[in-house]
Structure formats: structure tokens, C-alpha cells
Amino acid sequence: MSRIPSLFIGDTEIKAGSRVKLSLTSAKLYTDTEMSIPVEVIRAKRQGPTIFISAAIHGDELNGIEIVRRLLASDTFKLTRGTLIAVPMVNVYGMLTQSRYMPDRRDLNRSFPGSSKGSLTGRLANLFLTEIVSKCDYGIDLHTGAIHRSNLPQVRANLADEDTLSLAKAFGVPVLLNANLRDGSLRQAASESGTRILLYEAGEGLRFDEMAVRAGLAGILRVMRGQDMLPAKGIARVSNPLDVDVDTLGASGGSGGVYINNRGTGPLTVTGLTGNGGLALATGGDLDLNGDLQGRSVELAAGGDLTQRGRITGTDRVTVAGNGDVTMVSGAHTQSTGQVYYRAGQTLTVNSLHTTTGLPGGIVTLEARNLRSNATEPGSIRAGQVEARLAKADSERLYEMVDTTNGKARVFLNGRTLGGKIVEDAQFVADLTHPQSALPRVMLNPFEGFQPQTTGQGFQPVAGDNGEWHYNP
């Protein structure tokens, strides 16, 4: 057996069969405060590939931090060969300030390969590239969507490379994107050193998403298993082994999840999907939902238009997104005990959206350029909170869509509160003006010159105690 060479990161030597935590000193802040990148290295006694797992290159992307934490904390994680280098927070500066950027307002993932004598961001990029990335055969970089924009779990990589494509398929997420290399990105810099990179995107910024975390952790384990770095026991197989390229899809039953990625750009019609686990369907073209979908969580994504004619029922969350128009036809219904999220690249037309009412209750989020309704009556949206982000805002139309009778709701339009707890507001006005109200009815008497009033000035009860108070100037 050949001797396994030692691995040096900074001034620290990591020998075969050891597990070492270290701090990789990065550039100082302008206040002369020294910051460091946390690194944990696990080496097996048998020689094999070296892989790095990195998170929080953008400081506001938190899911990756939790993925790395769970990976390292797992009692069943037993490395059989090779080396794992885990970096849970690359951009420590941004993480502390909840910002995507570095203190000098540069994007770290647009600053590679950087320079040891460059800007603050450039020095950190150079340090990470030379001390971590260049010493690895493979890497998985963990990201999320932007703030208030959740991404379906996906892998972006150079799928034209057969080895990289094999890694991406092993990861096993609904969407694989053949993404071009961007100038200054980690993927571009890594490709020049021969390191193959998978970029995992899931969830949104500044929020932990359980589904995104679980999918990312399972994907990492499957990739490492595919490189014979881990035993097969306890690692779930890929749940979406097929790339669907059909016109019509229908399925039922099953105790697990259903995750389907259709790379085709032609129209896809779904007649129905039912399962006790999660349901996720992504297609490159138009998506037409003619039947009902039911699962723990339901996620639909269309590269073109999305039309919903049936019922969607999700226990935890329902997410529906299309790059074109998203349309709920008259009679279509969506229900979840948790959150409901609808996004359209152009016009969003909704019908019936129900989640938990009352405060605190479920959240309905609507995002589009234009918002319309196919509901025959007002109040078709029932929720504890409604958040709308619209390019063309119409507060009156949004207000009409929200149900004010079966619960108390907060309504936000582009970050601005509309009415607060609108039921409470409406009830207060009703109590104030109704003749049978327990509150005194306020009567404003007309001003009649400067004649003295026998009942005195200000609020005075009238004789007979009929519940009315009169104001005399």
C-alpha cells in the first residue's frame, strides 16, 4: 500500500485517519479586527478523492450552513476513503451583517481568482481558492435564492463534461441546469485548476428551508457515495432517476416523494399526482394541470406558462411558479395548512387560495407583474397573512381578494401594510356606527351661532339614557 501524502492547509498538517478543526486566517477588517474562516477536515486512512463542501459565499444564504452542520454532526457519517474539507462559512463578514456582500460591497463570487495583495474581497477569494479549492478534485458549493425569492432545489454545473454530469445526476435534485461559467465566479476559477464543481441552489436568502436542507444533505451523501467515499448503508437512492419527456403524466399512491425533472420545452399536461411525501415537478415549457395534486409539500415550476385547472393540496407548503403567465382558472383551488406561494414572470391570475386563518396563521405570498382574479365573489384568499409583491400595484383589487369574515389577516403590498388586522378594523367601525352597539353612538350637533347651550359644552348624555352622546360646541 502506497503512503498517503500529508495535506497542508495554511500551516496545519492533516494526516491520514485524522479529523481536524482549524481557522484559516483571512484579511483583516478596516478596524484591524482579524477574521478567520472555519474549516473542518476529515481524512480516511485509505487514499481517495478530495472534496470540499462550502457554504455562505454570499453571507445571507443560510441553508448551506445548516447542511454542513448536519453533515459533520451525523453519527453515521463514516468516511471510508479520501478527504472531506468542510467550510460552513466562507463569507464570515457577510454572515455577521446578514448581507450578500463583503464589507467593501463586492460580490465574493464575482471576485475569483482574486489576489493576495488586492482588495479585501480579492484577498479572501485568493485565500479560499489557493488553500481549499485547488487542493480538491471535486467541490459542492451551496447557495440559495435571493431574499423573498425561493428556488426549487437545483444543481447548476457544466453538464457538457461527462464526469460533472455524472456527479449532478448522483446528487438527485429535480432540476439540473447546464450553466455557463461566469467571469469571476468560483466555478470558473475552479475549472482552470481542474476541480469539478456542483453549485446547489435551494430555498431563499435569510431563511432556513427544511426541504432545501434535507435535499442538499442527501445530495452530498449520494455524491460522496458515488465516489466510494462512504458506505451505502443509510444513504437514500435518487428518487428521480428519469428525465420525463412526455406529453401527459399521471400517477397515484406511494409513500415517498415524487420528484420529476422534464428537460423538454414542449407543453406538459399533468392529469394528477398523489403521494404521502413531497411532490416536485419542473418542466422547461408550459405546464397544464388538469387533475389534482396532493402531497406533504407541492412544488410546481414551469419555464413557460402554467395553467391550473384542478385542486392542489399540500400539508406543509405549496409553491407554484412560472416564467410566463400563471393562471388559476375559475373553480381551481389551492389549500395548505402552512404556506402558499405563487409567482409569475408576467400576469398572475388567482382563484381560491386557502391556508390557516387567524393570527398567527398561514401565509399566502403573491409575486408577479400584474395580479388578477378569476373568483366569482370577493374574499377568495383566506390566510393569516397575505404578502403581495407586484410591479403594478392595485391595493383595492388586492383588498377585495382577501377574506375578512373567517379570520383576521394582515395584508402587505410591496412591503407596505394595508389595513393591519383588517377584520378588527372592520369590526371596530361596525361597533362604532351600529345603533345597537354597546358603545355610545356619537352624534355631532350642527353649530348654531354663539347661542349658549343649556346642556353645557362638550360630550353630554341626553335625557332618557338611550345610549347616545351629543357633542355641543
Q: Check residue 264 and give its pLDDT.
A: 67
Q: What global pTM score does this model have? A: 0.55
Stronger pLDDT, 471 or 304, i.e. the higher one: 304
Query: Between the ranges 145-154, 187-196, 265-274, where is the mean pLDDT highest?
Result: 187-196
What is the DSSP secondary structure assignment for residue 15, as one 8-state letter? -
For the segment 200-223, the average pLDDT, to the nearest whole number, is: 93
Q: What is the C-alpha end-to-end distance of the chain, expressed in Å?
A: 103
From CA 135, how far away is CA 52, in angstroms rounded?
9
Give the three-class secondary structure for 70.
helix
Ramachandran region, residue 456 (left: φ > 0; alpha: ψ -120 to 50; beta: rest): left
From CA 153, how far away is CA 214, in angstroms rounded?
10
Q: Which residues pair with 375 in a beta bridge?
A: none
**Ranges in the chain annotated CATH 3.40.630.10:** 7-226
From CA 422, how far away is CA 396, in angstroms rounded?
13
- 7-226 CATH choice from 3.40.50.150, 3.40.630.10, 3.40.50.2000, 3.40.800.10: 3.40.630.10
pLDDT tops 70 at residue 158? yes
pLDDT per residue over 349-369, tens digit each?
A: 999 999 876 656 789 999 999
Q: What angle do CA 170, 174, 178 make, to 5 degrees?
A: 75
pLDDT band per the 50, 70, 90 thresholds, residue 113:
very high
Q: How many other CB atoms are found less than 10 A from the CB of residue 105?
A: 9
Q: Check residue 244 and give its pLDDT.
A: 41
Q: Check residue 247 and give its pLDDT.
A: 40
Beta carbons within 8 Å of 454's beta carbon, 6+ residues apart = none
pLDDT per residue over 178-196, tens digit each?
A: 888 889 999 999 998 899 9
Q: Check residue 89 and give its pLDDT.
A: 96
pLDDT band per the 50, 70, 90 thresholds, residue 384:
confident
Give the three-class secondary structure for 48.
coil
Burial class (CB in 10 A: 0-12, 13-18, 19+), 31: exposed
